[in-house]
Chain A
Amino acid sequence: MLELKALRFSYGEDDYQFDLSIDAHSTTAIMGKSGSGKSTLLNLIAGFLKPSSGNIQWQKSSLLTLPAQRRPITTLFQQHNLFPHLTIHQNLALGINPSLKLSKEQEQQLTNSLDAVGMTGMDGQSAHTLSGGEQQRVALARCLLRQKPILLMDEPFSALDEATRESMQALTRETIKNNKLCAIIVTHSHNDAVALDASTCTLVDGRLSSLI
């Protein structure tokens, strides 16, 4: 269970308060216009922003004291998920060890994750040669490799063309199901929510409406 309890964040004139609880194995879509605070919510959960008050709990223990890298969370951004000058292998290995030294077992995991997103054998390629859809696939593979129970997604499909988006949506849905993840997607497209089989809630004026 992921719980946000009276989680407040103020910045200048903006004031947000979030109350939310989500099952450990479920997909939730947060909808709202741009500027409504969707990304702020994800940044608070991930630890990129500090809330002014309130709490975030995962399986009953608070996440607030943990720095971003020690939270049980991995994030898929809209773009810039990969370091463009590194190879796919390096980009994935960074998800396991910042010094890029991997054991045999970890190498095997890396290969498996590439297989899982349909990018078998591409690991020597440089990231900037990939199409937008391929980059998102590799980014998703790295999310898997990190073996974190919570997957946050910030408009992950909106930079993709339609055909690529559909296949990426299907891949993401399967991945969440197979790995029993707690997934939260922030999006302005209702289609994303439907495609991921997600329950939705809406952000208006800095407050979350109840789950529909």
Chain B
Amino acid sequence: MCRTPPYKPPWWLPGALSVLAVVALVGLPLLALVNEASNIELLDTISDPYHQRVINFSLYQAVLSTLFSVVLATPLAVALSREPRFKGRDLLINLFSLSLVIPTIVAIVGIVSVFGQAGLVNHWLQTLGLPSFSIYGLHGILLAHVFFNTPLAARVLLQSLENIPQEQWRLAAQLGLPSNSRWRFIEWPAIRPQLVGIAILIFALCFTSFTIVMTLGGGPRATTIEVAIYQALRFDFDINTAVALALIQLALCSLIMIATHSFGMQTSQGLSEIKLNPSTHYSSSHCLNGLIIGIAALFLITPLASLVVKAFNPATLTVIAHSKTLSALTNSVVVALTAGALAVSMGIGLQLSARHLRLRLNKRSSGKAIQLAGNIILVIPPVVLGTGLFILLRPFADVFALALALVIAINSLMALPFVLRILEGPVLQAAQRHDRLIQSLGIHGLPRWRLLDWPHLKKPIGYSMAIASTLAAGDLSAIALFGSERITTLPLLLYQRMGSYRHYEALTTAVLLLLLCLALFFVLQRVIGGKPDA
């Protein structure tokens, strides 16, 4: 009598399902966009002076933001590298990557509470009899972009400085190189190769930044293409303009992505673990370094601290217990967990099939191609994808009733590149060493997953689920397109409360969202990944 062998799913099944999901979610909306475009005079839209100004402003603010971020990040990275041991150094550097976990809109509330009309800075300016600073418009957009991207750039640059071998610093000490020679011969050569790549990455992030421009910009003088698409779709009900702008944005983003790719930088750059390797520096201007680090720390920490302090006010309890808050919170949790699970499932599916292609069939390039499929979303900003979905589904359904499903779909795609990046190494490593053994023992399918893959992968899976859910919980772009009075999430509710000048309600909502994101981030890692290694 023969035992029936356990069912063995073909190796391509998980990958094929994931690719199918990505293609359906990206390809169909894009087709709908292109199809719709055939009815539109694209050139008319581009040559319209208002849209010309929007396109120019998108580029202009991105160039300025990039310039400021990189120029400020360089002395910060050098100062941190030259001060290898002070209390709180690791903490500060870890804070640099927190911008991934902290939702953009939450940080903006913090920034507004410090730099806004009623904030600390304007209070001081007033006391000194100086003209007040307006957070809305180009200033505010630049300030927020610098807030998010200077730490990102400083982290990348600090990593290259910390990779300089210790011998070179000793040599510099023995040769008596003064501070400017050390910069010229050691630090600048280490930083220089990174600068172009990080600049392009930041440019891409600022060019497509939605939340910051929507909250701090807006109006005809400070609108980017992303926000103009949203306005066309939601306020003017002008589908033609939305489609035309979406196609322009798609073309520009493709160009930027090609540039980013050729310099080896990725949006998920902030995820790569920084390997700190502080070198001893012999003689340095501690005062100047301390000043630079102090200002940077103050600039980063004050908005968050101010946010947390001001969140506790007489209205706190009423705001939290408000039925709108509770339903938005529930929706956010649902969106976060579902989008996270979807992103991680697609990520695992793609990586398992990519691994089979690489290891068993020795087809490296097809393995890479499968992973690229998951990164396609990087070319398509969520607002563009949303516009496509809007046009695709409009004939069949009430798009706004489907809000949560659409937000989940868009967010799972947006998180996919991060998930892929986290899982790529571990999935490959889980097999590389023992693949021959696994083959000779004939272990495959579920038993292989349960016995061999899962123990290796639960930590990275937990981490990627945490990142994906946190990103989804904090995202404003998708829900801004599809949300309504009936269906909100915490970021949208926060945006509405900011817009109606309910300052205290906004602060409390912001902290609630922040707590949700931190909870998702840490709890998911712990629940899925198990205890951290000692």
CB-contacts of A130-146 with B (<8 A)? 146
Contact flags B244-285 to A (C-beta < 8 A → 1, else 0): 000000000000000000000000000000000000101100
Binds A, one of B166-174, B298-306, B371-379: B166-174
With an 8 Å Cβ cutoff, the count of chain A residues facing the other chain is 25
Contact between chains at A70 and B176 (CB < 8 Å)? yes
Contact flags B150-187 to A (C-beta < 8 A → 1, else 0): 00000000000000011110110111111001000110
B455 at the interface (CB under 8 A from A): no
Chain B positions within 8 Å of A67 at CB level: 173, 176, 282-283
Interface footprint category on B: 10 to 19
Closest beta carbon of chain B to A66's beta carbon, Å: 11
Contact check: which of B166, B176, B186 meets A69 at CB < 8 Å? Answer: B176
A171 at the interface (CB under 8 A from B): no
Contact between chains at A83 and B185 (CB < 8 Å)? yes
Closest beta carbon of chain A to B81's beta carbon, Å: 17
Contact between chains at B176 and A98 (CB < 8 Å)? yes
Nearest to B174 among chain A residues (CB) is A68
Given contacts A67-B283, A85-B189, contact A94 B177 (CB under 8 A): yes
Contact flags A34-73 to B (C-beta < 8 A → 1, else 0): 0000000001001110000000000000000001111101
Closest beta carbon of chain B to A212's beta carbon, Å: 29
Given contacts A48-B280, A85-B189, A86-B185, contact A69 B174 (CB under 8 A): yes
Chain B positions within 8 Å of A74 at CB level: 174
Contact flags B176-202 to A (C-beta < 8 A → 1, else 0): 111001000110010000000000000
Chain B positions within 8 Å of A48 at CB level: 170, 173, 280, 282
Consensus secondary structure, chain B interface: helix
A33 at the interface (CB under 8 A from B): no
Closest beta carbon of chain B to A209's beta carbon, Å: 27
Chain A positions within 8 Å of B167 at CB level: 77-81
A103 at the interface (CB under 8 A from B): no
Closest beta carbon of chain A to B491's beta carbon, Å: 46
Chain A positions within 8 Å of B170 at CB level: 43, 46, 48, 68, 75, 77
Contact between chains at A83 and B189 (CB < 8 Å)? yes
Chain B positions within 8 Å of A94 at CB level: 175, 177, 181, 185
Most buried by A among B167, B186, B280, B282: B167
Closest beta carbon of chain B to A34's beta carbon, Å: 16
Consensus secondary structure, chain A interface: loop
A99 at the interface (CB under 8 A from B): yes
Chain B positions within 8 Å of A73 at CB level: 174
Given contacts A48-B282, A94-B185, contact A83 B168 (CB under 8 A): yes
Q: How far is the CA of A146 from the CA of B181 in the complex (A)?
A: 18
Closest beta carbon of chain B to A145's beta carbon, Å: 11
Closest beta carbon of chain A to B79's beta carbon, Å: 21
Chain A positions within 8 Å of B177 at CB level: 94, 98
Given contacts A48-B280, A98-B181, contact A68 B173 (CB under 8 A): yes
Chain A positions within 8 Å of B174 at CB level: 46, 68-69, 71, 73-75
Q: How far is the CA of A12 from the CA of B170 in the complex (A)?
A: 22
Closest beta carbon of chain A to B277's beta carbon, Å: 13
Nearest to B181 among chain A residues (CB) is A98
Nearest to A77 among chain B residues (CB) is B167
Nearest to B185 among chain A residues (CB) is A83
Q: How far is the CA of A80 from the CA of B170 in the complex (A)?
A: 10
CB-contacts of A69-123 with B (<8 A)? 69-71, 73-75, 77-81, 83, 85-86, 94-95, 98-99
Chain A positions within 8 Å of B283 at CB level: 67
Beyond the given pairs A68-B170, A75-B171, 19 more chain A to chain B contacts, judged by CB atoms under 8 angstroms and listed by A's residue number, are: A47-B173, A47-B282, A48-B170, A48-B173, A48-B282, A67-B176, A67-B282, A67-B283, A68-B173, A69-B174, A73-B174, A79-B167, A80-B167, A80-B168, A80-B171, A98-B176, A98-B181, A99-B181, A146-B175
13 intermolecular pairs with C-beta atoms under 8 Å apart: A48-B280, A67-B173, A68-B174, A69-B173, A70-B176, A73-B174, A75-B174, A77-B170, A79-B167, A80-B165, A98-B175, A98-B177, A146-B175
10 shortest A-B CB distances, which residue pairs? A69-B176, A80-B167, A80-B165, A68-B173, A98-B181, A77-B167, A85-B189, A98-B177, A68-B174, A48-B170
